[in-house]
Amino acid sequence: MNKWLNKASIALVVIGVLDSIYMTIYKLTDNNAMCLGSGDCSSVNASKYSEIYGIPVALVGVGGYLAILILHLLENRNQHLRANGTLYIFGLALTGFLFTLYLIYVEFALLKALCPFCLVSQAAMTLIFIISVIRLVRQPQY
């Protein structure tokens, strides 16, 4: 297993967690100063697309990133995770990436507004997904 890819993925997950926590705090407090002058950030976070059944999308992101981080940290703890952890990470990254594609569509096509913090999370998840594909292809078969 390429340790560089693992470390890069973990670093991107940490960026995603921190970004998502920041945006969750913004969503829950509605503090427009947190958007750092980007009106599009406010537009995106005030839209009906910023929640799923009342749960902030950013909070869903926190959960997804933390799940990937936990799998990374436990990946070498037992035989089952050594054999399947990469596949589990790929599954979560694929789900996150597909959701990211939806969010990009919402921002570009429906809202015509781009939140810079959302773009950071979208870029992080896309790279995590790409790394997870590479790791899955390179994983030795047990």
Its pTM surpasses 0.75: yes
Q: How confident is the model at residue 42 (pLDDT cuts 50, 70, 90)?
A: confident
Q: Which residue pairs from 30-35 have beta carbons closer than 8 angstroms and sit at least 24 positions apart in sequence?
A: 35/115, 35/117
* Token output for 106: 């919402």
pLDDT tens track for 93-124: 999 999 999 999 999 999 999 899 999 999 99
The yes-or-no verdict on residue 85 having pLDDT over 80 is yes
